[in-house]
Amino acid sequence: MGRFRDRIRICALALWLVCAAGGGWAAPGASFVMDARTGQVYAAENADARRHPASLTKMMTLYLAFAAVERGRLAMEDVVRISARAALEPGSRLGLRAGERVTLRDLITATAVRSANDAATALAEAVAGSETAFVTRMNDAARRMGLRNTRFRNAHGLTAEGHYSTARDMSLLGRQLALDFPQFFELFRQRKAQAAGREILHTNRRFLGAYAGADGIKTGYTSAAGYNLTASARRSGKRLIVTVMGAGSSAERSARVSRLMDAGFAKAPEQAEPPSPRAAPRPLLADRAPLFTAAANGAVTDASPPRGAGSVGVFALR
């Protein structure tokens, strides 16, 4: 009888794994540890298995928003009118109302700190005219960055068919965000902020408050994804990017990232050659060509100097 039960359990597990593979999703336990200075990989577990990224998606949403500001397409104080579609986004929200007018700065802050889905959709619409056009840009950017197992279907990360990524790809995206936009990156370490007249708390405040040197980046959660986190931390001149996907709770997520960070810092050398422009090009900003060229999908071709970013302190506490 015992052997029969064991066989049933084995068959059930095998069936679950086959179904998961068929849907493109991995068993729990995906993680990735890399040196942000060099790209050196220190640890990887199920790193290329496709999973639901949840709000880790917003790293790409923010990357494209930062790029639009840096290239002068938008300014931080531009005012955005909230659409009905953005106002109706479910899940984590800032509570924006259709017709409300909000600055681009507030939308970026709410997306990064509160992980607000309504703000993310409004941000996408402000950058590209529509979320559909913005998603085209997201996938183009993913291709340019070499995110080989990533496909986006929306700007906020709520579960959707064909919307997936991996622990490796999310780490690469987090590193690119840190390398390309250091003047914006300070936003990710603020444990609380103001956005559109509302005080908001950082969804990553548990890790930011508990781990010495933590300075970002992005959490994610849905019932399908579990608890995800792409985190950044600095110690003694070293900087690591760690991604954990599919944890069972927020506490487990933070604990796993902390353990991986500790192990990574122990492996990382004191001195590391920083990435050169040739070794680590800015995928969307390195060349002199317009940021995007396919005007048919709403892409911009404005390559004028930035109007609103400034060089440092874009998100200094006010």
In the chain, what's the furthest Cα-to-Cα distance? 74
Question: Is 55 an active-site residue?
Answer: yes
Q: Which of 159, 143, 251 is nearest to 207 (CA)?
A: 251
Q: Which residue type does 124 have?
A: A
CA distances from 70 to 37, 45, 186, 278, 282 (A): 23, 35, 16, 20, 13
Question: Is 238 an active-site residue?
Answer: no
CB 246 within 8 A of CB 51: yes
Half-sphere exposure of 212 (CA within 13 A, CB side): 5
Percent helix, strand and coil across the chain, each to the nearest 5: 40, 20, 40
Distance CA 47, CA 65 (A): 27
Question: Is 58 an active-site residue?
Answer: yes
Size of the chain in residues: 318
Please identify which of the residues 31, 83, 92, 115 carries the catalytic annotation. 115
Please identify which of the residues 31, 55, 254, 258 carries the catalytic annotation. 55
Please identify which of the residues 58, 83, 238, 254 carries the catalytic annotation. 58
Sheet hosting strand 238-247, strand order edge to edge: 41-45, 30-35, 238-247, 226-235, 214-222
Tokens representing residue 87 in the block: 């106002």
Tell me if residue 231 falls in helix, strand or coil. strand
Residues that are catalytic? 55, 58, 115
